[in-house]
Structure formats: structure tokens, C-alpha cells
Amino acid sequence: MADIKKTVYMFCGCAAFFSKQRILAAAVWFVLIFGFLMSDTALAAFPPDWLQAHLDGTLKMKNLYNGVSFAEYEGDLPGYDTMRLAKDRALDELSYQLSVSVRSTFEDSIVKKGDYEEQNIASSLFISTRKVLSGIGERDKWTDAGKRRYWVLLVIDKKEADRQMDQQKFINEVVDRLEHKQDEVIEGIKQMTMVLNNTMDIYNDRVDQLEGLLETIDDKIEASGTQTREGYGALRVEILRLQSSRKVYEDRLVASEQKHDQQMDALISQNEELKVLLGQLSQKIQGDYFLALADDDVRNKDLNRGLNVQIRPDKGQGADYYSGERVKFLLHASKGCFVKVTYISSAGGSAGAGKKMNTLLFPNEHDAYNWINAGETKVIGRFGELEIQDPFGMDVVTVVASETQFSDIEALLKGANGGYYSEMSSNTRGTLDIRKRGITVVRPAGGAVTGSGSPSPPAAVATDTCFIVSHSK
């Protein structure tokens, strides 16, 4: 299979992508995002980038310290108490992160004033940071209707935070708490443990998703050659290592709670190790187009509410195809839905290398009806238009299904200029964003209710991804 120059050979000239269409598509996307941002409790199908990065252990904000946390709710929307709890937890998380990052800087000054236990120093830094620092503000929030979690992002300017902590009165506050406010120090240890427990909940969700990714990969490479199988073997090793680290962390948390002896240093160290492993693994996944999309498929399972969609090559998952061969993709959905199928070319070398051409294979101007019935098998490439040509390598095809029609379909078909709509992405994030476009933002019916009422999550969305490996004869 090939990019737009090599693949859809029966529709010449379909590579055109004009600035007018780019502007129109961007305008549609902007309207959706603007509508989401204008509502305090708007519900969108996909989490914002800052939350996704936080869940991956990779969130870094230039010139800012941040704290992210959530509170669970019942009913249609989070109420005031839920929002307040989420914000308090985010403040705890920010204070925890700050206290860990500045501890080595201030420890010498603190130790000179007395012989204090390590965990007490950590606790006093945490409490002092939480109570003393000013200038912390709410940057963003997001409602996860599927899991009924209300998320908050708090930030503080790094220079301003450093300036406040550099002042002698901050050190005096920490030491005074160590010497005269043991109740606060003990309470601080408990609060830090709660932060670590909340973090563990997030880690558990992510590790569970990665375990699901392993199962997905096993299914997607069933017809692959040995080289492809070996190429993804290293990922399995890293996920298993992450699972082992999670188990150590969980055991330490449980032991510290049972013995009422908070081994704060060990917990902090294990938390950092787990975060580093998670971040490294997430970055590796995000560097590979197939892995990034397959990982996103696993995450999206929480959104589907009974809607499932599958796509596979006609020769089997991960199959080898050779120059001149025709390829078809078989699409199946569990419920009636609208679908978009996108092809990511192998141009640029490996699955994770270079810029990629993202081509909307279906719908197109020649086959624009993109509804699929429950149980129906839709054939993509049914006209015999998909032919294997160079450049050879891994070609990825992904589908997104929605209960409601995509809002960008008309703009995309107009932008196809008589053939197939395409645009470039410089990284996997760009491709993931392309797949998200046109998903309708759905607001729940009724006002904020806690403790009662029927939840109103977004319309169901489902995704799936497959790949083939193309070769010369």
C-alpha cells in the first residue's frame, strides 16, 4: 500500500490540499474547541492534551509548576463539593511535587538547625509549601463523563514560586513547624500518603491500559512475519517491568498503612521510579504511529458504551503485501454508526519516523455515504484502487466510529478536489488530532446534580487500528 501518490491510482490528482480547505477545516475545529472551553462543565469525547500527558507521566509545562488531580461524582454533572475536592487534591499534588523538587536545595539549611527525621522534613516542606505560597491559579478543568471524574489543573509561575521559597521566612516556617507543630507534621505525612494513593489510582488505570495494549498488539500481529513480532518484543519487556514496579509500590503503600509507619522516603523514591518508567514507555509509544493509535484505541474503550468497531486487512492482521498486489480492508461495527477511515503512509521509513501523509480513504467523493449498519462488513478498497507500490514499509490504517455524523465531513470532501483528502502530520500527536476532528461535543441535559439523576455522557465513540507491511517483489 502507498501514500496518496501511489495508493489510489484510479483517481489521479486527488492529492490536492488547498489553503481554502485548510482554513475551513480549521474553522470547524476551532468552533468545537471554543464551545468546549466556554463551558465550565462541558463534556467532550477526548481528554485535553495536558491531562493525557499527566496520565502518561510526561506533563511538563514551560516556566510553570503544576498540580493535577480529580474527584469522582455521581449524577449528570459534578457539583460544588466535587469541584472543591478536586481543586484541593490538585493543590496537594502541586505542593507535593514542589516539596520533592526543592527538598535537596533546602535540606542542608534545615538540618543545620536540628536533627530531624527525613519524613518529617518532607512533611514540613509539603505543608509549608501548601500554606505559604501565593499565586497558584486554576489553568483548566475537564469532566470525564465516562468515569465520572472531574479533573483540575493548577499552576504557579516557576520564578515566582522559587522566589517565595528562596526567602528566609520560608525556611523559618519549615523549621518552626518541625520544632513546634508536630501535629501538623504528622497530618502532613498522612496528606502526602493520600497524594501517593491518588497517584497510584492513576498509575493503575494507565498500567491496565498498557496491559490492554499488549493484548491488542498480540491480535494485530497475528499474521505478521518474525521481524515484525520481534520488533514489538521490547515493548512487552518494558510493560512487564512497569507492572513489577507498580507491584512494589502498591506493597509499600499497603505496608506503610498497616503498620502506621509511613516510609515516606521509600514511597517517594518508588513513586518517582514508576513515573520515570511510565514516562519513558509513553514516549516510546508516542514515537510510533501504530502504537500511538493502538494505545489510543485502548483508552477510547471507556467511551464507546456498547459501540465497537474493528478494521483488518483482507489477508489478516499485520500481513505482508508485495509490490503490485491489491489490498482491501474489512470494516465491522457492533452498532449502526458513522465512520471515517484514514490511511497513514509508510513514507519516512519506519512506523515512527518522519512526517506522514494522512489520507481519508473513506468516505470520499466517489463513496460518500459513511453510515455502516450493525453487523455489516464494509470493504474499503472494493474498487480495487489500493495497490502496493513504493515506498515500502509499515502502512497504518485507522477507523473512528461515532453515533453522530462527523461535523467536518462536508469540509473534508470539498477539500478532496475530486479525489481523496490528505494532509501531513509531523508527529503522532498530529495524526491523533486529525482522527479526533469532527467528533461532536455533547453537553448533558439538565443542571448539575450530585447523588441522583441519570448520567449523560457524550455520544459513543469507538476507534480501531491495523497495519500491513509492504515489500518489493
> What pLDDT tens digit does each residue of the chain (473 aa) get?
444 334 433 223 333 332 333 433 333 333 333 333 333 333 456 789 999 999 998 999 999 999 999 999 998 889 999 999 999 999 999 999 988 887 777 766 666 556 677 788 888 888 988 888 899 999 999 998 878 899 999 999 999 998 988 888 888 888 888 888 888 888 888 888 889 888 888 888 898 999 999 999 988 888 787 777 887 888 888 888 888 888 888 887 777 665 545 577 778 888 888 888 899 999 999 989 999 999 999 988 877 778 999 999 999 999 999 999 999 999 999 999 999 999 998 765 455 556 788 999 999 888 889 999 999 999 998 888 888 988 888 899 999 999 999 999 999 988 888 788 988 988 898 999 988 888 865 544 333 333 333 444 556 889 999 999 999 87
Torsion of Cα atoms, 365 then 371 then 372 then 373, to 10°: -150
Domain boundary among 286, 319, 348: 286
Q: DSSP assignment, residue 135?
A: -
233 belongs to a structural domain: yes
Residue where a domain stops, chosen among 252, 286, 320: 286
Q: Are residues 345 and 265 in the same domain?
A: no
3-state DSSP assignment of residue 452: coil
Examine the domain organization and report whether 296 and 279 are in the same domain: no
**Grid cell 500527558 — which residue?**
53
Asked if residue 108 and residue 214 are part of one domain, the reply reads yes
Burial of 233 (0-12, 13-18, 19+ CB in 10 A): exposed
Question: Does one domain contain both 320 and 457?
Answer: yes
d(CA 452, CA 278): 36
Nearest-CA neighbor of 376 among 317, 315, 310?
A: 310
Residue 176 belongs to some domain of the structure: yes
Residue 7 lies in a domain: no
Cell representation of residue 99:
516539596
Other CB atoms within 10 Å distance of the CB of residue 463: 26
Helix (H) or strand (E) holding 210: helix 182-220
The answer to whether 469 and 224 are in contact (CB under 8 A) is yes
Residues 274, 354 within the same domain = no
CA 191, CA 269: separation in Å to the nearest integer? 17
Same domain? For 354 and 280 the reply is no
pTM to 2 decimal places: 0.79
CB 173 within 8 A of CB 133: no
Looking at the domain assignment, is residue 73 inside a domain? yes
- Integer angstrom CA distances of residue 349 from 227, 260, 391, 428: 15, 55, 8, 14
65, amino acid identity: Y
Backbone φ and ψ of 363, nearest 5°: -75, 170
Query: Residue written as cell 465550565?
Result: 40
Alpha-carbon span 353 to 121, nearest angstrom: 46
Angle at 144 between CA 143 and CA 146, to 5 degrees: 145
Residue ending a domain, choose from 249, 265, 286? 286
With respect to residue 3, please indicate whether it lies within any of the assigned structural domains: no
State phi, psi for 100 to the nearest 5 degrees.
-70, -40
Residue 411 domain-assigned (yes or no): yes
* One domain for residues 281 and 353: no
In a domain, 10, yes or no: no
Residues 209, 118, single domain; the answer is yes
Does 368 share its domain with 443? yes
Distance CA 391, CA 318 (A): 17
3-state secondary structure (DSSP) of residue 286:
helix
- Number of structural domains, the chain? 2
User: If phi over 0 gives left and psi between -120 and 50 gives alpha, with beta otherwise, what is residue 293?
Assistant: alpha
Do 276 and 299 reside in the same domain of the chain? no
Domain enclosing residue 412, as ranges: 19-38+289-471
Task: Let me know whether 296 and 431 are in one domain.
Answer: yes
- 398 SS3 class: strand
Residues sharing a CB contact under 8 Å with residue 301, sequence separation 6 or more, in sequence order: 212, 462
Q: Are residues 303 and 242 in the same domain?
A: no
DSSP classification of residue 347: T
